């Protein structure tokens, strides 16, 4: 986790807001709240620590959320304060990793707070005591620990797992002899059968960690009762440690209240009910017949391979949290199996699927491994993925939620992108869907919802690409947003079911625009020139917005700079001819023809407001007094440039022809990619003016390209010549 770059952190923040691992604060927010965050990052089990971004300000309280770089006036002082707090304020010293980043001419401090070792937990603020000064990280918030939370942290400190806990009111009389017999029978077939089988039953339970000692009145441990307990004893002591098997007609959860469904409760020793549950699930999966070479009789095989079902069921029962009083649910739909168990994954989401395991229970996995039901090597998810891919099925889709303390696994009995899927997707041919977007629509059709994590898994892509593609599908009306922040997900949009009628039925003003790569880059450049309030209005724009709303947004956009009708259509995802005929006549804009192209600028009232806003800006071309740090940065930049470029820069006048200035910018960016701040520093020009008047023009002419083409508003956005773009990132 400590290897995250600032660029990665910034992308996480602007795309997904603050999260379990990321907190943004201004320079002034370094008092009480930062101490709580440090405690939370240090304590949260299996989180791996978290990041503080200092010098970042949230500019909008409501979605869509925006952040800006506010800067830290004295980064050395802030770093010293954080280091001192981490050393002196807490029950154990904390060693943060601190770094300063120069972004948009401002300093931003990044502090990585590592997770404390288990034997140091709980980490609390000394002046407030363990009960009032200990915090955990729940979603994007710091929560004061409850007594149950503290019990978990102290258990980690002792190095024991919850399933090792002795249960009062239990004894050897609560053991089901059939469960012990099942263990002995399975163990004897194992290649490494050993002296365990020679022990009597009480000694065997003690050796496995299933009881406190070998006496007849010895208490059973949590694992002992779960693995070997009688049904009546489990109902008495652990009434919700059961498995609910639910079969639903159709592909949606109770979509039709009148539709039938059936459910079975499984309660009993895990050693005997796991095989029954696996067979129950397999019976509900459609089968396909297989005829092996040189065989006469066919073999019926479930569409979801048996090994995948076994791994899924066993993993849910041995890795679940038994501290949460909630049953495991196995829900069988017509097209998939979903398994939900209490207890989020202790492996970070990004590492799910890698080798290696971390279990919240010690005894249950070990015992299931003894009888050949489980592996203790962390291979469950990788095996499931490999087997599903080999069967040409959708990879398992995983959701792990720390806030709900829940883990969910989806297994689709659907051959992905088969002939029926290709035929179904053909109805969207005119929308120019990418293969990844096509997979997303199939997943939505099958499961009725999709989110960023699901998109990443089925397409093996990153969070940022997933966000861009999902927003595009939303803008096309194929998806509709539900929830907010980290809980945002998508359901079927109004155009999802239109199929071939999509383009014909949509009115010209609401018809979705399918963008080419060059149009996407142009749109990115346009959005970079607009203020946050206009971008917010555009992002909130509905398909059937009124003329008054559209006129207001257009006036605001044209106040930033003159626009063509095609540019307005691109910004608003509207048909340009509709904007020209229906909206512009009422927008009170001035039109001006330049080189045969009509530009629309602000009306007189808007023009006066724009002039008032610009009065405070330094005049273009006027040298601004530089700070000592800026002088040092300028010296470093000039050392990178060849003499002929430096001579051209030194010969610039306050009023320079745009073509001359743009030629020098190309020479500068041919040395290495440069930010607008660096170019402005070299040329003694206002970076904002350079972006609006020169850099955008060079982007349009394809003489320059972004270093972050998918993130035009990236704080470290740079500009490279086309010949130099290969080394731009």
Would you call 680 helix, strand, or coil by DSSP?
helix
Residue 653: band (very low, low, confident or very high) from pLDDT cuts 50, 70, 90 = confident
**Better-scored residue on pLDDT, 359 or 60:** 359
What pLDDT is recorded for position 372?
87
Q: In whole angstroms, what is the distance from residue 79 CA to residue 65 CA?
A: 27
**Better-scored residue on pLDDT, 138 or 597:** 138
pLDDT at 700 over 60: yes
What pLDDT is recorded for position 597?
67
pLDDT at 308 over 50: yes
Domains observed in the chain: 6-155 (3.30.950.30), 160-290+300-381+405-412 (3.30.565.60), 419-505 (1.10.10.10), 517-614 (1.10.10), 628-727 (1.10.10)
pLDDT at 315 over 70: yes
What are the tens digits of pLDDT across the range 415-424? 767 788 888 8
pLDDT at 5 over 60: yes
Q: What's the Cα-to-Cα distance from 241 to each of 211, 233, 265, 641, rounded to whole Å?
A: 19, 11, 11, 69
What are the tens digits of pLDDT across the range 328-377? 999 998 889 999 999 888 776 766 766 656 678 889 999 999 898 887 66
Q: Which of 712, 711, 649, 648 is nearest to 678 (CA)?
A: 649
Q: In whole angstroms, what is the distance from residue 20 CA to residue 692 CA?
A: 37
Q: 11-15, 395-399, 520-524 — which is least confidently predicted?
A: 520-524
- Look over the chain and give the mean of its residue pLDDT values, rounded to a whole number: 82
- SS3 sequence of 655-672: CCCHHHHHHHHHHHHHHC
Would you call 112 helix, strand, or coil by DSSP?
strand
**Contact status, residue 26 vs residue 54, Cβ threshold 8 Å:** yes
What are the tens digits of pLDDT across the range 462-502? 776 787 788 888 877 889 888 766 678 899 988 888 765 65
Give the pairing type, strands 243-248 and 328-332: parallel
Q: Which of 368, 398, 366, 371 is nearest to 382 (CA)?
A: 398
What are the tens digits of pLDDT across the range 276-301? 999 999 998 877 655 455 554 555 67
Helices and strands (H and E) in the chain: how many:
30, 23
Tell me if the pTM is above 0.85. Answer: no
Q: What is the distance, to the nearest Å, from the Cα of residue 225 to the centroid of all Cα atoms in its chain?
A: 38
**Contact status, residue 615 vs residue 607, Cβ threshold 8 Å:** no
Taking CA 558 as the corner, what is the angle to CA 553 and CA 559, rounded to the nearest 5 degrees? 95
**Better-scored residue on pLDDT, 713 or 563:** 563
Q: Which of 132, 129, 152 is nearest to 45 (CA)?
A: 152
pLDDT at 727 over 60: no
Torsions phi, psi of 97, nearest 5? -105, 115
Q: What percent of the chain has pLDDT over 90?
A: 32
Q: DSSP states of 175-211 as a string?
A: B-HHHHHHHHHHHHTSTT--GGGGS-HHHHHHHHTSB
pLDDT at 548 over 70: yes
Q: 176-185, 250-259, 628-637 — which is least confidently predicted?
A: 250-259
pLDDT at 2 over 60: no
Q: In whole angstroms, what is the distance from residue 646 CA to residue 214 CA?
A: 86
pLDDT at 684 over 90: no
The set of residues, in sequence order, having a beta carbon less than 8 Å from that of 581 and lying 6+ positions away, is none
Residue 616: band (very low, low, confident or very high) from pLDDT cuts 50, 70, 90 = very low
Residue 630: band (very low, low, confident or very high) from pLDDT cuts 50, 70, 90 = confident
Residue 401: band (very low, low, confident or very high) from pLDDT cuts 50, 70, 90 = confident
What pLDDT is recorded for position 726?
46
**Contact status, residue 457 vs residue 395, Cβ threshold 8 Å:** yes
* H or E stretch covering 314: helix 306-318
What pLDDT is recorded for position 728?
46
**Better-scored residue on pLDDT, 433 or 136:** 136
Q: DSSP states of 554-567 as a string?
A: HHHHHHHS-B-HHH
Residue 509: band (very low, low, confident or very high) from pLDDT cuts 50, 70, 90 = very low
Q: DSSP states of 255-296 as a string?
A: SSTTS-EEEEEE-S-HHHHHHHHHHHHHHTS-EEEE--TT-S
Torsions phi, psi of 406, nearest 5? -145, 150
Q: In whole angstroms, what is the distance from residue 164 CA to residue 322 CA?
A: 11
**CA atoms lying within 13 Å on the CB side of residue 439:** 20
pLDDT at 505 over 60: no
């Amino acid at each position: 986790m400590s290897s995250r770059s600032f660029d990665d952190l910034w992308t996480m923040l602007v795309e997904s807001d603050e999260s379990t691992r990321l907190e943004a604060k201004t320079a002034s927010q370094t008092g009480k709240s930062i101490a709580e965050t440090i405690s939370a990052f240090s304590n949260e089990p299996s989180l791996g620590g978290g990041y503080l971004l200092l010098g970042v300000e949230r500019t909008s309280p409501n979605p869509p959320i925006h952040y800006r770089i506010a800067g830290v006036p004295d980064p050395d002082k802030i770093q010293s304060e954080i280091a001192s707090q981490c050393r002196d304020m807490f029950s154990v010293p904390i060693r943060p990793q601190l770094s300063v980043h120069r972004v948009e001419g401002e300093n931003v401090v990044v502090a990585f707070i590592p997770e404390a070792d288990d034997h140091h937990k709980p980490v609390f603020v000394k002046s407030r005591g363990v009960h009032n000064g200990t915090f955990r990280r729940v979603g994007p918030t710091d929560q004061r620990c409850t007594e149950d939370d503290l019990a978990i942290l102290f258990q980690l400190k002792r190095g024991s797992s919850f399933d090792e806990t002795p249960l009062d009111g239990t004894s050897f009389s609560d053991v089901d002899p059939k469960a012990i017999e099942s263990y002995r029978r399975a163990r004897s077939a194992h290649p490494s059968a050993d002296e365990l089988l020679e022990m009597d039953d009480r000694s065997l339970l003690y050796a496995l960690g299933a009881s406190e000692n070998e006496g007849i009145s010895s208490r059973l441990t949590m694992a002992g009762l779960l693995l070997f307990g009688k049904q009546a004893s489990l109902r008495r002591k652990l009434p919700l440690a059961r498995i609910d098997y639910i079969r639903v007609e159709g592909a949606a959860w109770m979509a039709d209240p009148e539709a039938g469904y059936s459910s079975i409760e499984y309660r009993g020793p895990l050693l005997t009910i796991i095989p029954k549950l696996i067979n129950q699930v397999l019976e509900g999966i459609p089968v396909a017949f297989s005829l092996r070479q040189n065989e006469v009789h066919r073999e019926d095989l479930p569409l979801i391979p048996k090994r995948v079902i076994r791994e899924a069921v066993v993993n849910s029962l041995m890795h679940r949290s038994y501290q949460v009083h909630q049953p495991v649910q196995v829900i069988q739909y017509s097209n998939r199996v979903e398994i939900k168990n209490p207890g989020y994954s202790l492996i970070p989401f990004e590492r799910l699927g890698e080798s290696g395991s971390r279990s919240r229970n010690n005894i249950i996995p070990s015992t299931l491994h003894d009888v050949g039901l489980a592996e203790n090597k962390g291979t469950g998810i990788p095996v499931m993925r490999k087997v599903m891919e080999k069967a040409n099925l959708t990879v398992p889709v995983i959701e792990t939620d720390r806030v709900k303390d829940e883990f969910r696994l989806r297994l689709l009995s659907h051959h992905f992108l088969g002939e029926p899927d290709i035929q179904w997707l053909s109805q969207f041919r005119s929308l120019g869907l990418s293969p990844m977007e096509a997979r997303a629509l199939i997943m939505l059709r099958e499961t009725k919802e999709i989110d960023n994590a699901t998109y990443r898994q089925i397409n093996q892509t990153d969070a940022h690409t997933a966000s861009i593609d999902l927003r595009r599908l939303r803008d096309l009306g194929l998806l509709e947003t539900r929830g907010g922040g980290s809980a945002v997900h998508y359901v079927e949009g109004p155009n999802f079911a239109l199929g071939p009628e999509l383009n014909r039925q949509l009115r010209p003003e609401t018809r979705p625009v399918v963008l080419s790569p060059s149009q996407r880059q142009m749109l990115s450049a346009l959005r970079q020139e607009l203020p946050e309030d206009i971008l917010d209005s555009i992002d909130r724009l509905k398909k059937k917005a009124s003329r008054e709303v559209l006129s207001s947004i257009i006036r605001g956009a044209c106040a930033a700079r003159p626009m063509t009708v095609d540019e307005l259509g691109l910004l608003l995802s509207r048909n340009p001819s509709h904007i020209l005929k229906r909206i512009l006549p009422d927008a009170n804009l001035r039109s001006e023809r330049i080189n045969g192209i009509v530009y629309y600028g602000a009306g007189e009232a808007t023009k006066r407001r724009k002039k008032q806003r610009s009065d405070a800006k330094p005049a273009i071309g006027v040298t601004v007094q530089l700070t000592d740090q800026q002088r040092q940065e300028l010296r470093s930049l000039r050392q990178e440039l060849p003499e002929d470029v430096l001579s051209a820069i030194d010969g610039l006048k306050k009023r320079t022809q745009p073509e001359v200035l743009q030629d020098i910018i190309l020479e500068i960016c041919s040395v290495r990619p440069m930010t607008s701040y660096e170019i402005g520093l070299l040329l003694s020009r206002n970076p904002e003016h350079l972006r609006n008047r020169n850099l955008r023009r060079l982007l349009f002419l394809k003489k320059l390209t972004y270093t972050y083409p998918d993130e035009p508003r990236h704080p470290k956005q740079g500009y490279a010549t086309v010949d130099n773009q290969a080394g731009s990132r």
